[in-house]
Structure 1
């Protein structure tokens, strides 16, 4: 076995290891929470008349599955963003998707729509922001800097509109808006979880199929075009896909920050820039980070659940600082 084959084998082993870690964390998350449910009384979990059954299948399992689905989605989106924008500080929220989704949810709440329609408002405005950024990018020949700047403009616009909505909201509505913005895994149902998984799989299949093109882009767009890569096309389609995936995740769970920023950096350190492994690793690490955040959110304060978005941000901040320092050293 030559060195190249050994390197690939090592990368595959890393991916298998992270899958095992994610599964173990998934099991731990299922049995973590204010209500004491142990593996020793597993029979009561499958007793449809018991409270353990309700807690496990109506609360714990959807929450843990959501952590995996959203973690995979944001980890993948962050990796693709950093590749197509050639920016180590890029994340799914660089394009203002999170801010627009938060505004949409808040607007629907203050207008008196039932809570069930809140995710519809979040999804609509996040897709609206995506469409705007895409139109600007297309007009500017998918120029990286133009796309980033338009995303920042969208973010500040919807942040301002969100502040206005909060200012006008009643105390009761404001409390729910703030809780939604913090990010939570316990507001999804099984049909929404399936939708998150489907959107992730569609994006992953297309992006993984074109992973060699993304790898070429990491060495510069000019070099990639010399190899026959249509960089504008791959940017356009990738941007649309990851924006939709992010919009779906944020619409159902609220703002869960830094997953899309920290996961790619960890993945890059482990498997390098080969997108075949980098994309998969980043997605898996995203699920691992969110599962850890979910477990911590239920254990830091006994008897209470801290919004998972707060925990994920605290975990992600050191990676943001590291990314800034690492990028400065390379520059």
Structure 2
């Protein structure tokens, strides 16, 4: 018979493990809350930047009052009709691209995976350019209003199916998937420049927007469909977060635990592509958000996608919003597009992280 004194060490060990687990989870939740507060602060500062002077306190007051009544004063119109749509579009775009990058990195087990490096952004951009310059769509009866969105989504699926085919029939490694995505990106970029070469100069001006990427077209009309698409896709990705965790251990391990790897990977890639296309159709190609944000969050809170997906989304939103704010202040009144800011600052910053990062895998 085991005495009560002999069970104490085991009880203490279990209590210690529970305490460590609480701290482990608490760290993740703290980081998520920190990102929320960061978005709130940056949004307040971003709303004060412009030719019309407004303080941070006035911004929050105007937003609160605008929830219950229509904006009438000049300050209220400036905040609600000009600055707030740009801020909200930056939050949605940053969150969506970061979440798409997170799940892509998880299912291909490669930290270099993102909508940009897998060719999805280039595919969506190519579809958008065709719709803008030639008014051509894969769905002939589609109205002009949704022409760009549907084309961007349809062409974003081409790299997805190519990568999925390589994975299934050629047993492609994660490195091969990345290289295939980069190859698809170059192919689409080549076709985009070919279209530019023969396009009418006036039509090319609008299409050139997609190669730069920015929030200059932010409006309540454009924010609504983007928000609806993200609201539909992100909960589904959160529902699949455990499958992403299991697939990170390898396909054979995931299959042994009852996960239909091929179907799960296809569903997740399509959802990530839909998020990417819905964003790019309004903002153009903004790179590095889906690459940098998941990488930083994985270093801070680890690779559990149940927490990594929301954390990356919030951090990506704060990161893109910060780049947008810097782009509007560095050379004011000239506004540097967000895509340019991400390439100029996000690229070197990511390179710095790669140099400083310890050789450690998080999945």
The CA deviation string for residues 246-302 of structure 1, in whole angstroms up to 9 with x for no partner, is 001001100111000000111101110111111111111100111101111110112
| Rg larger for | 2
Query: Aligned to 1:92, what secondary structure does the other structure show?
Result: coil
Which stretch shows the higher mean deviation, 51-60 or 137-146? 137-146
Paired residues of 2:123 and 2:159 also in contact (CA < 8 A): no
Show the counterpart of 2:157.
130
The answer to whether 1:184 aligns with 2:211 is no
Cα 1:158/1:325, change in 2 over 3 Å: same
Paired residues of 2:324 and 2:338 also in contact (CA < 8 A): yes
Query: Aligned to 1:93, what secondary structure does the other structure show?
Result: coil
- Aligned equivalents of 1:316 and 1:44: distance in 2? 32
Which of 113, 136, 144 pairs up with 1:90?
A: 113
TM-score (norm 1): 0.88
The answer to whether 1:251 aligns with 2:281 is yes
Show the counterpart of 1:2.
19
Query: Aligned to 2:208, what secondary structure does the other structure show?
Result: helix
Show the counterpart of 2:330.
300
- Aligned equivalents of 2:218 and 2:286: distance in 1? 14
Paired residues of 2:123 and 2:185 also in contact (CA < 8 A): yes
Which stretch shows the higher mean deviation, 88-97 or 129-138? 129-138
Q: What residue ranges of structure 1 are gaps of 5+ in the alignment?
A: none
Which stretch shows the higher mean deviation, 192-201 or 291-300? 192-201
Cα 1:92/1:103, change in 2 over 3 Å: same
Paired residues of 1:217 and 1:223 also in contact (CA < 8 A): yes
Which of 71, 80, 85 pairs up with 1:62?
A: 85
TM-score (norm 2): 0.81
- Aligned equivalents of 2:247 and 2:163: distance in 1? 21
- Aligned equivalents of 2:23 and 2:331: distance in 1? 45
Q: CA RMSD in A?
A: 2.9
Which stretch shows the higher mean deviation, 46-55 or 197-206? 46-55
Cα 1:168/1:265, change in 2 over 3 Å: same
Paired residues of 1:76 and 1:280 also in contact (CA < 8 A): yes
Which of 102, 105, 116 pairs up with 1:79?
A: 102
How many aligned residue pairs are there?
329
